[in-house]
Amino acid sequence: MSSRDVIVGVDVGGTFTDLFLLDPANGRFQTAKVPSRRGDESQGFLNGLKALGGAAAIHSIVHGTTVGTNTLLERRGPKIGVITTRGFRDVLEMRRRDRRRTWGLWGDFTPIADRDMRVEVDERTLADGFIRTPLDPQEVRAAAKHLLDQGAESIAITFINAYANANNERRALVAVREVWPNEFIIASHEVLSEIREFERSSTAAINAYLQPVVASYIGKLETALTEQKFSGQLHIVQSNGGIMSTATARKLPARTALSGPAAGVVAGAAIAKASGFDNLITCDLGGTSFDVSVIAGGRVSLAAQTTIDFGLVIRTPMIEITTIGAGGGSIASVDRGGLLQVGPESAGSVPGPACYGQGNTRPTLTDAQVALGRINATRPFGGELKSLDVEAAKRAIVTHVGEPLGLDATAAAAAIVQVADARMAGAIRLVSIERGHDPARFVAMPFGGGGALHVSALIRQIGLKCALVPRFPGITSALGCVLADLRHDMVQTLNVMLDGVDAAALERRMQAAGREASAVIAGSGIAIERIDVQYELDMHYLGQTHTIAVPLPVAYQGDNLGVSEATVRSAFETAYLGSFSRLLPGLAMRIVSLRVAAIGRRPVFDFAVFAPSASASLEKARLGSRPVWFDGGWRDTPVWARLELPVDARIAGPAVLEQPDATTVVEPGLAGRIDKLGNLIVEPA
Amino acid sequence: MTLDPVTLAVLNGRLVQIADEMDATLYRSAFNPIIAEAHDACHGLYHAETGATLVQGTSGLPIFVGAMAFAVKAVIDKVANDGHLETGDTYIFNDPYDGGTHLNDFRLIRPLMRKGRVFAWIASVGHWLDIGGNVPGNYNPKATESFQEGVRIPPVKLIRAGSIQQDIVDILAANSRVPQSNWGDLNGQINALDLGERRLHTLLDEYGDDTITAALAALSSRAEALMRANIAALPDGTYTCDDFLDNDGITDVPLRIALDLTIAGETMRLDFSRSAPPCDGPLNIARSTAIACCYVALKHIFIDVPANAGCLAPIKFDIPDTTLLAVSAPRPVAGYTETILRVIDVIFGAFAKVAPERSQGSPFATINALSLAGWREHRRRWIMFCFFGGGLGGNPESDGLNHSNNPISTATIPPVEILESLYPVMFTQWALRPDSGGPGHNRGGLGAIYEIEALAEDGADVFLIGERGKFPPFGVNGGGPAALNRFIYETDQGEETPPLISKVTDIRIRHGQKVRLETPGGGGFGDPATREPSRVVRDVQLGYISRDAARRDYKVVLREDGSLDADATAKARAGTPA
């Protein structure tokens, strides 16, 4: 694709599928929101494209998907087989010897490959890479045939110490391919060439579990797109926020686990940057959870792994998203010790909050917002319901919170919102202050349906600089699909001491990994402006088992990156002091692994297309007023149509700003203004 | 000062978050895998005068959660004696009889000073890899005095007004086989205290000292109210449970752990006076440790009670010093983990009589502290020290979890690949152990088999403290017991098992020889003859149980091809009283 091609971002979420179309040639954009169909996610996708006028005129589609995550959570993937080192078939089931909760000993665990679908073969590699027992291809073929007979649709090969030497795994791959009827074969070193057998095996097995599902999903989409005369390319967003080709997605579907949310963070970063903010915290308030992610100095934070559910670990670089169980559907209750709790139990979207009138009678956070007049009960967003039942919300609040605490409906609702605000503030504190970031330099960016209701409180409680409510908060993830760069990550375990390190050899490895990752980007067929390669080492003092991420400030000068023992040492010490208060002089340092990311930069998006039209005016935007509860009293509060506000409009709090997919509450003492790109900035008045 | 419920909920969250963050800081910067990977550590905030637990992290090792209050009290007494405390002072100690647990657990305790006075204490505890004694790693199963277990440090000022006393660091370093590891862990703990102190000052500045004081008092009284409500809901009466430790590592005589649990209204009495007297070997514990593990057991039963001292207020303890559960110096205590697990078991066992529908089969309940040790070049020590897993008990909700950690811990096990990259060993098996879970309507979870080969030219010394070699984890509500713990080692003459089963020292395996540990599962829940035959058949297919066990324990008969023989099963079950 070229920078002038029509591109569409499609984010299939749990409730809605959002689409964002951009035609860079004339700056035209278009959005669509259609219901998602759980279990057949391609339906929402295709319906959404229809709403945009069909696929024929589109050159490129980038897709954020939850198919992989949902398949795992609901365990609706296929039967898979696993071939392991003799003595180790139970690694997947034994996990890291953990349990579900600190307190309480109940509950069990079902691995994604049953014990009779995991077969051992004779082979063994030692920690130093020495192959102590070579592989017998005949035995591997027999194991694969057995698993096939037992109904396996895909297969993972997970050998001990394959990170140190993948030769046995490679030979096993060859042997399995000779008998395996499809492309769904993966070896652990292909998904992650990193030490720790459970995490690597789990990632490989999950990958095998998702391969047939994701491949069939992509296949279905591609067939339907072809029928719709789509002649461009389909791409998938990865958990690291970069996009990949569908070929890579079929091979490494474990990398799609956080596809949708990652796209949202990417969009957040781009929107903030265009408005002149480099430090932000994205806040996504959904029905059951509140997800936050930090972008500091324009860089998204990456995490090394995530746990999808107890015992289901995916280890691959992904955007770090911190989640707490507090969403609009979170249920408020008073525990037997008399303490008010909001969440983690949730009414979800079905039956949903009490005000939905769909059978739930326990109060949720949304009910409290409705009772306080913050959400417009006559125009709920999403478009499914005609109106909200305010009285049902109040009844639920009085019965379950008001009476136990001796509060009336309004005071109880205010208490629920306050406790929820505090939990959200806690999550933000966790990713900002507790990582050494000064909140006064950060802006909060709410997206998703409900985040903008809470930004005023978050600014106040945490001392954030301001909040930036994007022009279209409800379609942020779809927008992120359009904006995302290409990205390919690689990890290699090195395990070498820094003292006397062979810097030339390290340089060669980095260059080779950089070239390999860049080749994946270059081969994806997507037009890019340039490829950036980032190099990072995982390091520690010898004896520590955890590592810290050490970004290397290196760049090509001619043919050389300029890696030296001194640059690595200084980079390590800088990173270490960023995390801990004391260096340990005199102790040896070790380089555990090398992480390389190749990033294919996409053309910069011009957010001016979102600017309010010249005809926007305060008069058009004024919607009247209604009573809203603030700081212990009802205030007659002006209500504005947010999208009708002109550039530089300034609205003093208290105020409520409404738009089809979000409501922003501006508390007294704060004010909102519209910037040149149509963003709403809420800041101290 | 009374606080509104909203502020209280907010402050509760903030305080717990600070403790959590201290935990995370130490895990990430610690040196030895027992802290870094297995999270054998804990942080919290403690009362200025009494040392009572005010706030605990959610990820700290459960047993420390109960024990830290006693450790802080020991420092408070020491300060009262010394009469001088400054901002920036920090005490260190590992004395197991004075609020400690065993010698490996080093506590760092620092006053949080506000306006020249102690507002509260912040503390960090972590398990150091080695602190001298006869056995690398300090799990000496043959110790008869504390002096054979390691070096005992009373509360001393490690940091004076912000400056570390190098003398003390040097003494600690000179008394360990792995001084660098300890130095790294010590720094990790200081990192955690520094961070906790900064965060707490910020919080106090924001809300005011009086508000936080009021919040801490209110949280404690709420925990007490919740605990009283929980106890009041149980039927009054006295319930008894006795269990045994295999031996004390010195003589092969079982040691009784006996509990008489009395519920009267909203109070509970835990009477351990019928337990065995102090023993010669390292299976004794101090009274503070005994109370701490009662706390752990009760938290597993009453999950919703917050982790502070308030929840112990309605509990009365009878733990006389005539028992092995309240010893003083220099009785050996290195194997304390085994004894506290048995104390927890008898509380679970007695509770199963109080409320069978809310109970679970006994967990595998042995720590299996196995060390392999040897020498690297230049006479440098290597010590591979690890705790191993087993099964949890069957419960009303589900079968027990396969291969889990013990109730006193949330420790994860280090990966095989990490162990093999650090030490000259090779694991030849890391597997679930068939037939190790206790039979039941809901089966106990499976224990594991770990087999390790020595790769070093000069082999490896082997040390082990484990239990459950004679008295298996019990089932409840009609469920059966799990398999016993087994330890096997290779000699030139073939495989052998130690005379005291899971207490091992003075064994050396040669290059290429192996040791094998087979751990218990959890006890079963409910009558195994009521387990749906299809679930039993599936267990056989998966290799969780053998055909013999299906027939013997579950009265389920399989055909040659592995399918259910419904008629034979019906007959076998008809012959069994339900």
CA quadruple A74, A77, A81, A87: dihedral, nearest 10 = -10
- Give the B window 32-61 contacts with A, CB below 8 Å: 32-33, 36-37, 58-59
Q: Does A546 touch chain B (CB under 8 A)?
A: yes
Nearest to A14 by CA among A329, A356, A393, A431: A329
Domain boundaries, position B100: 5-224
Q: Is residue B317 part of a domain?
A: no
Q: How many residues are listed for chain B in this entry?
A: 578
pLDDT at position B578 is 42
Query: Which residue type, as a one-letter code, is found at position A163?
Result: Y
Query: pLDDT (tens digit, 9 = 90+) per residue, A264-279?
Result: 999 999 999 999 999 9
Does the distance separating the beta carbons of B413 and A96 come in below 8 Å? yes
Question: Are B421 and B570 part of one and the same domain?
Answer: no
Question: Are B22 and B159 part of one and the same domain?
Answer: yes
Q: Please tell me the distance from the alpha carbon of residue B47 to that of residue B16, in angstroms, as a whole number.
A: 15
Query: pLDDT (tens digit, 9 = 90+) per residue, A433-480?
Result: 766 677 888 999 998 768 899 999 999 888 899 999 999 888 888 999
Q: Kindly list the residues from chain A whose CB atom is less than 8 angstroms away from the CB atom of residue B41.
A: none
Q: Please tell me the distance from the alpha carbon of residue B68 to that of residue B106, in angstroms, as a whole number.
A: 11
Q: Kindly list the residues from chain B whose CB atom is less than 8 angstroms away from the CB atom of residue A95.
A: 403
Q: How far is A367 from chain B (nearest CA, A)?
A: 18
- Across A67-81, A584-598, B274-288, the highest mean pLDDT is recorded for B274-288
When divided into structural domains, chain B yields a total of 3
Return mean pLDDT, chain A: 90
Q: Is residue B59 part of a domain?
A: yes
Q: Kindly list the residues from chain B whose CB atom is less than 8 angstroms away from the CB atom of residue A404.
A: none
Q: Does B526 touch chain A (CB under 8 A)?
A: no
Q: Is residue B340 part of a domain?
A: no
Of the listed ranges A45-49, B58-62, B285-289, B491-495, the one predicted with least confidence: B58-62
B294: which residues sit within 8 A by CB, 6+ positions away? B66, B270, B315, B317, B343, B344, B347
Assign A384 a pLDDT band (cuts: 50, 70, 90).
Answer: low
Nearest to B241 by CA among B222, B258, B216, B221: B258
Dihedral-angle region of residue B369 (phi above 0 means left; psi in -120 to 50 means alpha; beta otherwise): beta
Largest CA distance in chain A: 80
Assign A144 a pLDDT band (cuts: 50, 70, 90).
Answer: very high
pLDDT at A509 over 80: yes
Task: Compare B503 and B380 and report the one with higher pLDDT.
Answer: B503
pLDDT at position B36 is 84
Q: Kindly list the residues from chain B whose CB atom is less than 8 angstroms away from the CB atom of residue A132.
A: 426
pLDDT at A382 over 60: no
Q: Which of A85, A89, A96, A97 to mutate to test the interface with B (most CBs of B within 10 A)?
A: A97
Portions of chain A given CATH number 3.30.1490: 485-601
Q: Kindly list the residues from chain B whose CB atom is less than 8 angstroms away from the CB atom of residue A119.
A: none
Does the distance separating the beta carbons of B5 and A405 come in below 8 Å? yes
Q: How far is B129 from chain A (nearest CA, A)?
A: 11
Q: Does A582 touch chain B (CB under 8 A)?
A: yes
State the CB neighbour count (10 A cutoff) for residue A665.
Answer: 27
pLDDT at position B270 is 98
Q: Kindly list the residues from chain B whose CB atom is less than 8 angstroms away from the CB atom of residue A336.
A: 225-226, 229, 304
DSSP A136: -
Q: Does A320 touch chain B (CB under 8 A)?
A: no
Which residue reads 């326990």 in tokens? A362
Assign B550 a pLDDT band (cuts: 50, 70, 90).
Answer: very high
Closest partner CB to A195 (pick from B8, B188, B421): B421
Q: Does A579 touch chain B (CB under 8 A)?
A: yes
Q: Kindly list the residues from chain B whose CB atom is less than 8 angstroms away from the CB atom of residue A102.
A: 58-59, 62, 410
CATH 3.30.1490 fits A485-601, yes or no: yes
Q: How far is B361 from chain A (nearest CA, A)?
A: 10
Nearest to A375 by CA among A357, A361, A387: A387
| DSSP bridge pairs for A594 | A492, A537
What's the mean pLDDT in A634-647?
Answer: 96
Question: Are B484 and B549 part of one and the same domain?
Answer: no
Q: Are A540 and A523 in contact (CB under 8 A)?
A: no
Assign A65 a pLDDT band (cuts: 50, 70, 90).
Answer: confident
Return mean pLDDT, chain B: 93
Closest partner CB to A426 (pick from B14, B222, B448): B14
Q: How many CB pairs below 8 Å do chains A and B form together?
A: 214
pLDDT at position A383 is 55
Does the distance separating the beta carbons of B430 and A88 come in below 8 Å? yes
Question: Are B427 and B499 part of one and the same domain?
Answer: yes
Does the distance separating the beta carbons of A582 and B445 come in below 8 Å? no
DSSP A128: T
Question: Are B568 and B501 part of one and the same domain?
Answer: no
Does the distance separating the beta carbons of B416 and A97 come in below 8 Å? no
End residue of a domain, out of B197, B224, B251: B224
pLDDT at position B546 is 98
Does the distance separating the beta carbons of A582 and B428 come in below 8 Å? no
Question: Are B190 and B54 part of one and the same domain?
Answer: yes
So what's the ipTM on this one? 0.93
What's the mean pLDDT in A48-53?
Answer: 90
pLDDT at position A19 is 93
In the numeric block, which tokens belong to residue A440?
Answer: 């006064």
pLDDT at position A221 is 93
Portions of chain A given CATH number 3.30.420.40: 7-72+215-259
φ, ψ of residue A508 to 5 degrees: the values are -60, -40
For domain A7-72+215-259, the CATH class is alpha beta
Query: Which residue type, as a one-letter code, is found at position A363?
Result: P
- Give the B window 470-509 contacts with A, CB below 8 Å: none
Q: Are A621 and A648 in contact (CB under 8 A)?
A: no
Does the distance separating the beta carbons of A418 and B6 come in below 8 Å? yes
Closest partner CB to B28 (pick from A434, A546, A584): A546
Per cent of chain B over pLDDT 90 is 78
Q: Please tell me the distance from the alpha carbon of residue B33 to that of residue B128, in angstroms, as a whole number.
A: 10
Question: Are B499 and B550 part of one and the same domain?
Answer: no
Q: What is the pTM of this model?
A: 0.90
Q: Does B405 touch chain A (CB under 8 A)?
A: yes
Does the distance separating the beta carbons of A587 and B180 come in below 8 Å? yes
Q: For residue B422, with 0-12 CB atoms within 10 Å meaning exposed, 13-18 middle and 19 or more buried, which class applies?
A: middle
pLDDT at A289 over 90: no
Q: How far is A17 from chain B (nearest CA, A)?
A: 35
Per cent of chain B over pLDDT 70 is 99
Q: Are B313 and B224 in contact (CB under 8 A)?
A: yes
Q: Is residue B319 part of a domain?
A: no
Q: How far is A231 from chain B (nearest CA, A)?
A: 48
pLDDT at position A525 is 67
Per cent of chain A over pLDDT 90 is 61
φ, ψ of residue B68 to 5 degrees: the values are -65, -35
Does the distance separating the beta carbons of B403 and A94 come in below 8 Å? yes
Q: Does B431 touch chain A (CB under 8 A)?
A: yes
State the CB neighbour count (10 A cutoff) for residue B169.
Answer: 16
Q: Does A110 touch chain B (CB under 8 A)?
A: no
Closest partner CB to B432 (pick from A93, A341, A579): A93
Query: pLDDT (tens digit, 9 = 90+) per residue, B230-280?
Result: 999 999 999 999 999 999 999 999 999 999 999 999 999 999 999 999 999
Assign A677 a pLDDT band (cuts: 50, 70, 90).
Answer: very high
- The 3-state DSSP composition of chain B as helix, strand, coil percent (nearest 5) reads 35, 25, 45
Of the listed ranges A504-508, A601-605, B510-514, the one predicted with least confidence: A601-605
pLDDT at position A582 is 83
Query: pLDDT (tens digit, 9 = 90+) per residue, B381-435?
Result: 898 988 999 999 999 999 999 999 999 988 889 899 989 998 999 999 999 999 9
Q: Please tell me the distance from the alpha carbon of residue B388 to that of residue B370, in angstroms, as a whole number.
A: 8
Task: Compare B314 and A67 and report the one with higher pLDDT.
Answer: B314
pLDDT at A1 over 50: no
Of the listed ranges A14-23, B386-395, B504-513, the one predicted with least confidence: A14-23
Q: How far is A541 from chain B (nearest CA, A)?
A: 8
Q: Are B216 and B54 in contact (CB under 8 A)?
A: yes
Q: Are A186 and A205 in contact (CB under 8 A)?
A: no
Query: pLDDT (tens digit, 9 = 90+) per residue, A534-569?
Result: 999 999 998 787 889 999 998 888 889 989 999 999
Q: How far is B403 from chain A (nearest CA, A)?
A: 5
Question: Are B537 and B522 part of one and the same domain?
Answer: no
Nearest to A10 by CA among A484, A473, A605, A478: A478
∠ at Cα B121 (B117, B125), nearest 5°?
155
Assign B576 a pLDDT band (cuts: 50, 70, 90).
Answer: low
Q: How far is B498 from chain A (nearest CA, A)?
A: 24
Q: How far is A594 from chain B (nearest CA, A)?
A: 17
Q: Is residue B48 part of a domain?
A: yes
